[in-house]
Amino acid sequence: MAESIKEDIKVIAVFDKGVKPVKFRWRGRLFAITEVTHTWSSREGSSSILHFSVTDGASLFELVYNQASMRWSIEASE
């Protein structure tokens, strides 16, 4: 069962014909993303939000990038 988190995080991402997160730091640990399993977008008011379902090979995380505020957050993990 996914655990809801909603915390701001720092992410290393490649911006080239889209956005691809590569690594992220959360609660003092660095996670290397081995696979972006799915991406989707949504809107929050006028802000466009990109969602990334990613795995480090052990756990699954949902990372979120708010294109208006240019902030990354982690929304869930399991």
Interface ranges with another protein (CB under 8 A): 2, 35, 37-38, 40-47, 51, 53, 55, 60, 78
What is the rounded CA–CA span in Å between residue 42 and residue 59? 23
Q: Residue 39's CB: how many other CB atoms inside 10 A?
A: 16
Phi-psi region of 68 (alpha: psi -120 to 50; beta: other; left: phi over 0): alpha
Minimum Å gap between C-beta 66 and another protein is 11
2 or 10, CB closer to another protein?
Answer: 2
Which letter does DSSP use for residue 46 in this model? T
Write down the least CB distance from residue 48 to another protein, Å.
11
What is the closest distance, in whole angstroms, from the C-beta atom of residue 32 to another protein in the complex?
A: 16
The number of residues in the chain equals 78
Please identify, using beta-carbon distances, which residue of 10 and 44 lies nearer to another protein: 44
Judged by beta carbon, residue 23 or residue 38, the one nearer another protein is 38
Question: Do the beta carbons of residue 68 and residue 61 sit within 8 Å?
Answer: no
